[in-house]
Amino acid sequence: MAGTLRIRGFVNAHSHTFQRALRGRAAGGDFWAWRDGMLAEAERQTPELVRSAYEHGYREMLAAGYTAVGEFHYIGVPEARAAADAAAAVGVDLVLLHVAYARGGLSRFRQDSVRAYLDQVEKLRGAGLRVGLAPHSVRACPADWLEEVGRYAAAEELPLHVHADEQPREIEECLAEHACRPIELLARTGCLTERTTVVHATHAEGTELDLLASHGSTICACPTTEADLGDGFLPAERIRTRAIPLCIGSDSNVRIDPFEELRELEGIARRQTGRRGAFSTEELHAFGGEVGARSLGLEAWPDIEIDLGHRSLRDVDAENVPAALIAGCGADVVVA
């Protein structure tokens, strides 16, 4: 067998591309210690650094088969434009998920008011960027911000992405402040719709997963990052039984390989259930492509070519190639 096979490109629905610089760095004992190193890296970003480092990051993504990316961006408006320039130079479709950040983090993340945040969004849209709304988390945004951002996303029919339930501490703080869990707060503030993507949902309870299912919202799983940060296991089987749409993201970019993200998703489900083939091959490819595109509001995104002569596909029958890509291939199977 030789030649190439054309398939739909992968969609990276959640990336913080500046975090690629942290790959391989020793970074403390847990998520919160890692976060200190991440904040130091965020603080040194400039438009020039973003323009050049993101171009390298997007090239690595494109080479791995990601032809579209949702950049979950919280390091400044000039840097947002630089990210868009970098994506255009590489030829990756970019959706800039501009982040609302009211409290915590670094001062450069924050806006003075939710109105100031929406003004930034409108400026970026006016400059021709494809933009989505991104209240960072229930940690960084109080309820009145969530309500306003949810209202704007609904009125403008824009995607809304938000981190939730990545770490137990965030849930404890939400319970203390609001007497409910993060995804319950998102529902209460109008942030859960069919255009909403909740990133992680690692520690989501059954009631929260029920809310995602009943609102038609999507979950973006980032298994290689969630493993690297010690976040926990996605409740893959409970998501599957509720038919909640799943997509993937490279998140911290410790690893950039859509095949590995999908293999991890299926592997987590197998470990949880003791069953093989928890998700079908078609479902897994859809998680990597269509579902991510829908999550970002994209109707079209470029295809990729698979190298059928690659050593990892040797002796694989043509009909088994789609499954073998996920079971046994790495991103180097994509034709550059």
Min CB(167)–Zn ion separation in Å: 12
Instruction: Report the Cα 189 to chain-centroid distance in Å.
Output: 22
Residue 279 exposed, middle or buried by CB count within 10 Å (0-12, 13-18, 19+): buried
CA-to-CA distance for 195 and 323, rounded, in angstroms? Answer: 29
> Within 13 A of 123's CA, how many CA atoms are on the CB side?
12
Q: Which of residues 251-270 bind Zn ion (CB under 5 A)?
A: 251
Q: List the catalytic residue out of 251, 257, 285, 310.
A: 251
Looking at the Cβ atoms of 170 and 251, the one nearer to Zn ion is 251
Looking at the Cβ atoms of 94 and 304, the one nearer to Zn ion is 94
Residue number of the CB atom closest to Zn ion: 251
The residues, any chain, with a CB within 8 Å of residue 335's CB and separated by 6 or more, are 4, 304, 305, 306, 307
Looking at the Cβ atoms of 71 and 307, the one nearer to Zn ion is 71
The residues, any chain, with a CB within 8 Å of residue 305's CB and separated by 6 or more, are 4, 5, 6, 7, 334, 335
Min CB(69)–Zn ion separation in Å: 13
Looking at the Cβ atoms of 54 and 306, the one nearer to Zn ion is 54
3-state secondary structure of 251: strand
Whether 200 is a known active-site residue: answer yes
Whether 14 is a known active-site residue: answer no
The residues, any chain, with a CB within 8 Å of residue 203's CB and separated by 6 or more, are 165, 166, 167, 168, 171, 232
Looking at the Cβ atoms of 79 and 251, the one nearer to Zn ion is 251
CA-to-CA distance for 307 and 178, rounded, in angstroms? Answer: 52
Give the contact letters, 160-199, x = binds to Zn ion (CB under 5 A), - = no: ----------------------------------------
Min CB(137)–Zn ion separation in Å: 9
Pick the closest to residue 46 from 14, 98, 83, 100 (CA basis).
Answer: 83
Looking at the Cβ atoms of 148 and 251, the one nearer to Zn ion is 251
Count of residues that interact with Zn ion, criterion CB under 5 A? 1
3-state secondary structure of 190: coil
Q: List the catalytic residue out of 200, 203, 285, 310.
A: 200
CA-to-CA distance for 204 and 122, rounded, in angstroms? Answer: 32
Min CB(314)–Zn ion separation in Å: 37
Query: Phi/psi zone of residue 198: left (φ > 0), alpha (ψ -120 to 50 degrees), beta?
Result: beta
Min CB(126)–Zn ion separation in Å: 26
The residues, any chain, with a CB within 8 Å of residue 129's CB and separated by 6 or more, are 80, 81, 84, 94, 96
Give the contact letters, 225-254, x = binds to Zn ion (CB under 5 A), - = no: --------------------------x---
Nearest 10 degrees: CA dihedral of 155, 164, 93, 291? -90
Min CB(141)–Zn ion separation in Å: 14
List the catalytic residues: 200, 251
Residues that bind Zn ion (CB under 5 A): 251
